[in-house]
Amino acid sequence: MFEKYPAEHIIIRPPVEAYSVLIAVTGGCSWNRCLFCGTYKGMYGTTQDYAIRPIDDVKKDIDQAAKYNYHGFPVFLAGGNPTSAPTEYLAEIIKYVRVKLRDVQRVSCYSKALDVLRKSDEELKTLANAGLDIVYMGLESGSNKVLRLMKKGTNAESFIKAGKRLLNAGINLSLYIILGLGGQKYSEEHVKETARVLTAINPTIFRFRTLNISPSVPLWENLKSGEFTLLSPLENLKEERNIIANLGDNVTSQVFNDHVSNYCDIESVNIKEDREMFIKTLDSYIQSNRIKKMARKNLDRM
């Protein structure tokens, strides 16, 4: 039904990597069971099986990037979770990037918490020393109830352990939070527990996304049956406000609303310093009639 793309064909990257050199390292996602995610399940009219690419093929792509003078750009190692690959393989690729391409601004990739936990502290340091600057990880929610409901395959304590170990190894961490992921039923729990996990980790960055459900994701069935209820734009903004308000005083993360699914675009380079401003701005959105009347975006992709 859907076209199946090979591992060397890149399907997604974070918006912040829009102008980066994309080098496919793995294909698909080794988990691929999250109910809200259709990335490799047909959301883009395509599917992709999990695979680790042969290292020589990856190196050939890096050689090509060098040949076409893609120097001075950030490099994104693509695939749902390249950190699932063996450490030596990944370190060799990162070092090769840094040898072949000049003035690389940063090297980054997606990562799953369980991949990180499978690696020793020495292995994480090896990746940091090779030049892995930052990983993007979908925390989605700090609530174990929500994580279980969504079949995330990881619990809050694993996220905390993985997050702290990455930061201790010298790798920056950008976490994604999905507003509305607990639906109406677990909204309060989602807010409270997400703030708790963010406080425990104090990630370099956290970014908000807002839940949209397309027909290609398994959660669509729960929505149609009435088992799951989406939040309104106003309710999503209230969740964001309350997550920020519930953060501990130690949290110094950068915060972004840098996704098309969001209902605001407020940013902070240090939420400890900007917390009051952030909350006041969100309150002004929450009190505005425009937001109260606003219809959901209902994007067909995230």
Which residue shows structure tokens 């380079």?
269
Within 13 A of 248's CA, how many CA atoms are on the CB side? 12
In the set 29, 77, 91, 247, which binds ligand SF4 (CB under 6 A)?
A: 29
Q: How far apart are CB 271 and ligand SF4 at their closest, in Å? A: 24
Residue 11 sits in the site that holds ligand SF4 (CB under 6 A): no
What is the Cα–Cα distance from 27 to 7, expressed in whole angstroms? 4
Kindly identify the residues of this chain, within the stretch 157-196, that bind ligand SF4 according to CB under 6 A: none
Residue 138 sits in the site that holds ligand SF4 (CB under 6 A): yes
Residue 37 sits in the site that holds ligand SF4 (CB under 6 A): yes
Q: How far apart are CB 24 and ligand SF4 at their closest, in Å? A: 15
Nearest 5°: phi and psi at 291? -70, -40
Residue 112 sits in the site that holds ligand SF4 (CB under 6 A): yes
Selected range binding ligand SF4 among 34-42, 96-104, 118-126, 215-223, rule: CB under 6 A: 34-42
The residues near 272 (Cβ < 8 Å, ≥ 6 apart) are 249, 250, 251, 252
DSSP state of 83: G
In the set 27, 74, 80, 82, which binds ligand SF4 (CB under 6 A)?
A: 80
**Residue whose CB is less far from ligand SF4, 174 or 268:** 174
**Residue whose CB is less far from ligand SF4, 32 or 281:** 32
Q: Find, among 291, 273, 196, the residue nearest to 237 by Cα.
A: 291
# residues contacting ligand SF4 (CB under 6 A): 10
Residue 232 sits in the site that holds ligand SF4 (CB under 6 A): no
Within 13 A of 176's CA, how many CA atoms are on the CB side? 23
Q: How far apart are CB 89 and ligand SF4 at their closest, in Å? A: 20
Q: Find, among 293, 269, 266, the residue nearest to 282 by Cα.
A: 266
DSSP 84-141: GS-HHHHHHHHHHHHHHSTT---EEEE--HHHHHHS-HHHHHHHHHHT--EEEEEEE-
List of residues contacting ligand SF4 (CB under 6 A) = 29, 31-34, 37, 39, 80, 112, 138
